[in-house]
Amino acid sequence: MGKRVLLRKCGHTKYQVRKDFSRTCNICSDTESPTTGTLFHKLKFRLLKAFYICFEMSTTTKSLSASQVARRYDISRQTAHYFMHKVREAMKSSESQKMDGKVQVDEFTIGGKEEGKQGRSYDTKKKKVLCAIQLSNQGKVKRFYAFKIPDYSSKSLRTIFDKHIDKTAYITTDEWKGYRPIKDYNITQKPSNDGKNFPILHKVIHQVKSWIRGIYSWVSEFNIDRYLAEYSFRINRSQSKETIFNNLIKRLIERKPIFQSQLVCP
């Protein structure tokens, strides 16, 4: 006989399983949904539809917009929007496996063109993003991480080193002065030459920008890290397509519930 499941609310292990897979405790009669304590908590549509959405978000090259999901699965756009953000929350890195070997770091912006704003403009209204890629010995992308930053200061730039890069990594950046104070990492700086000295990194940056522009048109600063987490999740598992869906479902089950108020800009 398999191991009995511990009911989350009461802690008892004796229960009856109902047709909808909820469990009713034999001792206190509390009924617990199978989605309780997960990111599927209080799902407003069938769980099977949620699995289909997760499958498409994790296995398709470009994913889908909330409008596409709403039409395809016959749910409201707002419901699709909120659920997809929960999925993106599960896609966020655990920061447990740091990049080593050859690593490149750079920043870029997301947003429309602004007159008189070139390079690292501090007063730009665009979203500032910091990113890093780990390259294989063959020069291919092994891993990619990105998140928003408030500015281009050394303090802000350091965050990606501490979160995602191992101290043994051989790191290359352009000649921006903000990287110079980061002395405890093995950093080599060289001219960007309009991205020509970092062709793979800039190709990925271009793909991220095109993906956001093509699928979503625009993303808010409040949620941009969730979109970047989605892109990183897929690219980091592009060589393990057979397990990417199972990996995502496991994350959705293990993560604590996130409520609608946490998905809306205050």
Binned at pLDDT 50, 70 and 90, residue 239 comes out as: confident
pTM score, whole prediction: 0.88
CB distance 23 to 30 below 8 Å: no
- pLDDT for res 70: 98
Count of positions (residues) in the chain? 266
Statement: residue 260 has pLDDT above 70: yes
Domains defined for the chain, CATH in brackets: 1-34 (no CATH), 47-94+239-262 (no CATH), 102-235 (3.30.420.10)
- pLDDT for res 4: 60
Structure tokens at 9: 């609310």
Sheet containing 127-135: give its strands across. Answer: 141-148, 127-135, 102-110, 170-173, 187-189
* Cβ neighbour number for residue 236 with a 10 Å cutoff: 19
Report H helices in the chain. Answer: 47-59, 66-73, 77-91, 154-164, 199-211, 224-236, 241-254
Mean pLDDT is lowest, of 77-91, 105-119, 191-205, 247-261, for 105-119
Q: Environment class of residue 210 by beta-carbon count within 10 Å: exposed (0-12), middle (13-18) or buried (19+)?
A: exposed
- pLDDT for res 263: 85
Measured CA to CA, the distance from residue 141 to residue 198 in angstroms comes to 12
